[in-house]
Amino acid sequence: MTWLFEKEKAERPEVLILHHALIIMDTLELDLIPSRVLNRELLRLDVPEARWNRYRGPGGGEYAHPLTLDEQAKLLRKSVIVSKLLRPSGGGKPFRGYRREWFVEALRKRDASAPTARLRLVAPEPD
């Protein structure tokens, strides 16, 4: 029963995008990522469940198209992640983007709020 919940949860785009953003940030060794870079890398991501270049909307019923920045922002807002103006730690030009810790925290909260199905055996009452 738990695996079924995990499978359904993993297929939701608002959860997948969190996992995929972390994969991208870990691969690129980034703690901060510009919104546009995240979008570009999502479209290029090569893992079996990543279909961001053929995104069909949050419900899966739209025509297949590349995930737009606006759609990316809407999916991330479901996890209370909003791009902010960030400055690179070594200096440089500020950009709108995300912090790695925001994705880690969003996934932690989602896992903490996941319902846990518990089966209880009911023994027959003695006669």
119, part of any domain: no
11, part of any domain: yes
63, part of any domain: yes
Residue 86, pLDDT > 90, answer yes
Number of domains in the chain: 1
Residue 118, pLDDT > 50, answer no
Question: pLDDT tens across 45-72, in order?
Answer: 998 889 999 999 988 899 999 999 999 9
The least confident of 40-49, 79-88, 115-124 is 115-124
Averaged pLDDT of the chain: 85
Residue 75, pLDDT > 60, answer yes
> Averaged over 81-105, what is the pLDDT?
95
Q: Give whole-number Cα distances, 54 to 20, 37, 60, 68, 88, in Å.
A: 15, 18, 10, 11, 32
Which is higher by pLDDT, 119 or 71? Answer: 71
- Write out the residue range of the structural domain in which residue 26 sits: 2-110
91, part of any domain: yes
70, part of any domain: yes
8, part of any domain: yes
**H helices present in the chain, as ranges:** 2-11, 13-28, 35-44, 69-77, 100-112
Which is higher by pLDDT, 59 or 42? Answer: 42
CA-wise closest residue to 67 among 4, 24, 110: 24
117, part of any domain: no
Rounded Cα distance, 2 and 63, in Å: 31
Token pair of 16 as six digits: 């997948």
Q: Note the pLDDT of residue 113.
A: 60
Q: Please provide residue 34's backbone torsions phi and psi, each rounded to the nearest 5 degrees.
A: -65, 145
Residue 117, pLDDT > 50, answer no
